[in-house]
Amino acid sequence: MILPGSRPASVVDHVAAACELLLSAALIAELEATFRRPKLDRYTSLDTRMKYLWSMVDLAKPISVTSEITDCRDQKDNKLLALAFDGRADLIVTGDVDLLCLHPWRGIAIVSPAAYLAQFGA
């Protein structure tokens, strides 16, 4: 979960400043649904979470995903692989073990937020 000020948020901020953040409509929809979960209210307000999401969307390059990928054991994660593939990404940063175990995948590195921050000194 990306919360303002968290390690994943630091990764997003670094990627947006130094590289190119890729988002698809499907990923934005998933993030929005996740950010709207009431259980996250104890960490930060819905308004703060939504402002953060839309700031991410503003920084990102939108990718139209057309590929159908079925390589991940967790089928819902295939949309992230398809985004990376269609967006010609060099790197996926995730805490999801179902994706991390694929590293490297079709020439795309898959690393944890901690590993990304350690490597790039963000």
Would you kindly state where each structural domain of the chain is located, as residue ranges? 7-120
pLDDT truncated to tens, each residue of the chain (122 aa)? 566 677 877 887 888 788 888 999 999 999 999 999 999 999 889 999 999 899 889 989 999 999 999 999 999 999 999 999 999 999 999 999 999 999 999 999 999 988 988 988 65
pLDDT value of position 1: 54
pTM of the entire predicted model? 0.86
| Torsion on CA atoms 52, 58, 64, 65, rounded to nearest 10 | -20
Question: Do 71 and 102 contact (CB within 8 A), yes or no?
Answer: yes
Question: Do 94 and 100 contact (CB within 8 A), yes or no?
Answer: yes
Domain 7-120 has CATH 3.40.50.1010: yes
pLDDT value of position 25: 95
pLDDT value of position 117: 87
